Copies of this chain bind each other. A is one copy, B any other.
Amino acid sequence: MNTRLLTSSAVLFFAALVYAELPPETMPAPSNVPGADYPRLDAEGRGYFQVKAPEAEQVQVNLPQGQYDLKRDSDGIWSVTTPPIEPGFHYYAFSIDGTMVFDPGSQAFFGASRHGSGIDVPEPGVDFYEVKNVPHGNLRSERYYSSVTDSWRRLFVYTPPGYDKSPDTRYPVLYLQHGGGEDETGWANQGKTDLILDNLIAEGKAVPMLVVIANGTLPRPEGIPFGYSREGMVPFANEMLENIVPFIDQNYRTQPDASHRALAGLSMGGGQSFIVGLANTDTFGSIGAFSTGLFGGIRSKDPFDAEEFVPGLMADVERFNEKLDLFYLSCGEQDERIQFTKQVVSDFRSHGLEVEFNSFPGGHEWQVWRKSLHDMAQRLFKP
């Protein structure tokens, strides 16, 4: 009997077993569908991606930080371990011989105007958007009729814990807008709005509030080439002022005045909040713009001219300071927009306009926006 051969066979056998096992010290990404082993993450945030594509010639995974080639095994399974991925939520896709392919292991998230894959990388020490053992509010899906689109549209309303059991309590309202190519599911799913508010309210760091998350993607008026203009914002302004705010005030126990209403948003939604909010301080007493490209980077015209978007802003800072309870700007520290944002904050302050500003590590991504909401919500509706 050839023991040497036996040993070799055993080694091969166990090598095959080990190969089919999951990489040690890793866990499925929290953004996976239940039961999906891949993608996985290790403690340093390395991504382990895998996809079956027996006939493919080339497979890559496209993350915001770069593209990585996957390698094929003999069964046609392609795999790669990436360098550590930045904490937070990232959209991604596979490219299989040039075709964009979503990962069946990931939940679907709406971004770039389609349902694609996403990976949520935990940030060590950060748990403000985790599900905790605290009272939970709920997120209500509502249908309302839009006179702007002449159709039924959907919005979400976060109601804080105890809303149904406190029928005499009225609440302030934060209107919270998504970015370009996203929809009302952005703040609900990627943004984890309900968990952020549940946790802040449980800690007594934010006042109980309603959060209204609507779809801000609306047709541009005819003949207006660019949405980032006062004229381009007319449909959004009409949707907010004529449809959404009245619907909420009619159907929820709100405190229906400007000092108990805020308008905030990220990226495109930040531009909407800046332009429409500052033009309607009788409706919105607090305004937030996270990572807006309005101040530069997305337009050829520099420097930013506040007068173009908010006539009278610089000439009448006293009025704005008095009208606004909170004027909040934020940006990611690795977002190209931050230089423009800091310049605008500096200009505003040198003109005497009161503005609060904060920045967070990260690019033009959801981890910055989760932290912006977490930060802004603590400053809202305080005496």
Contact = CB atoms under 8 A, between A and B. Distances in A.
Interface residues of A, number: 47
A27 B186 CA distance: 27
A99 interface: yes
Contact of A164 (B116, B139, B251): B251
Nearest to A52: B99
Interface stretch (A1-9, A54-62, A344-352): A54-62
Contact of A139 (B98, B141, B217): B141
A102 interface: yes
A322 B298 CA distance: 70
Interface string A123-158: 000000001010010111111010000001000000
Contacts of A99: 51-56, 96, 101
Given A116-B104, A139-B140, A33 B110 contact: yes
B143 A140 contact: no
Nearest to A250: B165
Number of copies of this kind of chain in the complex: 2
B108 A53 contact: no
A12 interface: no
Which residue, of A106, A108, A251, has the highest number of chain B Cβ atoms within 10 A?
A108
Contacts of A223: none
A96 B167 CA distance: 55
Interface in A81-128: 96-102, 104-108, 110, 113-116
A35 interface: yes
B115 A143 contact: no
A140 to B, nearest CB: 5
A36 interface: yes
Contacts of A104: 100, 102, 114-116
Nearest to A183: B34
Interface string A247-269: 00001100000000000000000
A97 to B, nearest CB: 4
Contacts of A53: 97-99
B164 A114 contact: no
A70 to B, nearest CB: 12
Contacts of A139: 140-141
A34 B113 contact: yes
Interface of A: 33-36, 51-57, 76, 96-102, 104-108, 110, 113-116, 131, 133, 136, 138-143, 145, 152, 164, 167, 183, 194, 217, 251-252
27 contacts: A33-B110, A33-B113, A34-B217, A35-B113, A51-B99, A53-B98, A54-B97, A54-B98, A55-B98, A56-B99, A76-B98, A96-B96, A96-B99, A101-B101, A102-B115, A104-B114, A104-B115, A108-B115, A115-B115, A133-B145, A136-B142, A138-B141, A138-B142, A139-B140, A139-B141, A140-B140, A143-B194
The 5 nearest A-B residue pairs measured at CB: A108-B108, A108-B115, A55-B97, A104-B114, A53-B99
